[in-house]
Amino acid sequence: MMPAHIPIELLLSCAYAVFLLAVALVLEKTAQHAHRRTERYELAGFQYHAGLDRWECPEGNHLVRVETDDLRRIVRYRAPASHCNACAKKSDCTDSDRGREIEHGLDLWLQTGLSQFHRGLSFTLLVLAGLLLLVETVRHPEKSTMPLPFGLMVVVALTGFRLLSRQPTRS
């Protein structure tokens, strides 16, 4: 049973703020998952050996660094054309006569343009939730109603700070 002293508008606003918070978190997780999945698909079967700074194809051939584009923040790796052109699985891997090539971004996931867009959407939803709660707190200044919107504002603010300060991992 709902307490009679809490206005229904305040409860609905708090519920909507929780909904915006949930959407922001789901958007963030979905964007990260889609990025990882896309990268895994493009590099299916290939393994990166960080100590050697080279990729290994499913057939055991190595792709070595051939170019670093500092402007675009990518590194290009290529397998020897002679290996790829003689490979039985070439048609499934590449149509290039120069050898299979992999472009790998130097930037972290959170530094890419698409990730900044998703992060901006998530953060915008959190700001909207926080503003909604702030307005409701001003509209209903009674001490008995303060803990609910104020507590949610703290959760929204902490979530926003977490999104902004989270340490990205290499994709």
Residue 147 CA to residue 159 CA, distance in Å, equals 18
Q: Which helix (H) or strand (E) holds 163?
A: helix 147-165
Do residues 90 and 146 make contact, with C-beta atoms less than 8 angstroms apart? no
Per-residue pLDDT tens digits for 76-93:
999 999 999 999 988 888
DSSP secondary structure letter of residue 168? P
pLDDT band at 1; cut points 50, 70, 90: very low
Least confident of 65-74, 100-109, 118-127: 100-109
Residue 56 CA to residue 139 CA, distance in Å, equals 62
Written as one letter, the residue type at 133 is L
Residue 19 CA to residue 27 CA, distance in Å, equals 12
Encode burial over 91-127: b for 16+ CB neighbours within 10 A, e otherwise: eebbeeeebbbbebeeeebbebeebeebbeebbebbe
User: Stretch 86-107: mean pLDDT, rounded?
Assistant: 86
Q: How many CB atoms lie within 10 A of CB 162?
A: 12
Task: Please name the residue that has the structure tokens 């990730």.
Answer: 115
